[in-house]
Amino acid sequence: MTEPVHVFKASRLTAGNRIFPTRIEVSPHHVARVKPRWFGRDEETIAMHKVASVTIHRGVLWADLRIDSSGGSNPMVSHGHSKGDAEQIRDLIHRYQRTTADR
């Protein structure tokens, strides 16, 4: 049985997300940041075993995520998520990494 991809959308009330909100997609195999555009979309992906750390910057209403890769590439940054979604993203990543390490 395959586990579903968990999708978390940034709030439309935050800068840069008004028309096309950023999505973070978490699966057992990867984490993706998807930013839709008028024509197409930008997508960054980090393999789950390459995620080095997840940092949450909590504001008054929203949280910003920074997901660092152990591969030395630029971090994946996403703004305007609810604090609960940010914590759930971090917890899913940690859970998937533990599951992979246990194998």
CATH fold, domain 6-102, is PH-domain like (2.30.29)
H/E stretch holding 69 reads strand 62-69
Half-sphere exposure of 40 (CA within 13 A, CB side): 2
Q: What is the pLDDT of residues 80-94, one digit of tens each?
A: 999 999 999 999 999
- The predicted structure's pLDDT at residue 21: 95
Parse the chain into domains and list their residue ranges: 6-102
> Which residues are CB-neighbours of 14 under 8 A, at least 6 positions away?
62, 79, 80
Q: 96: helix, coil or strand?
A: helix
- The predicted structure's pLDDT at residue 103: 61
- The predicted structure's pLDDT at residue 58: 95
Pick from 27, 29, 22, 25: nearest CA to 50: 29
H/E stretch holding 99 reads helix 83-102
Confidence of residue 3 (pLDDT cuts 50, 70, 90): confident
- The predicted structure's pLDDT at residue 69: 93
Q: What is the pLDDT of residues 12-70, one digit of tens each?
A: 999 889 999 999 999 999 999 999 999 999 999 999 999 999 999 999 999 999 999 99
Q: How far apart are CA 80 and CA 62, in angstroms?
A: 5
Q: How far apart are CA 100 and CA 82, in angstroms?
A: 27
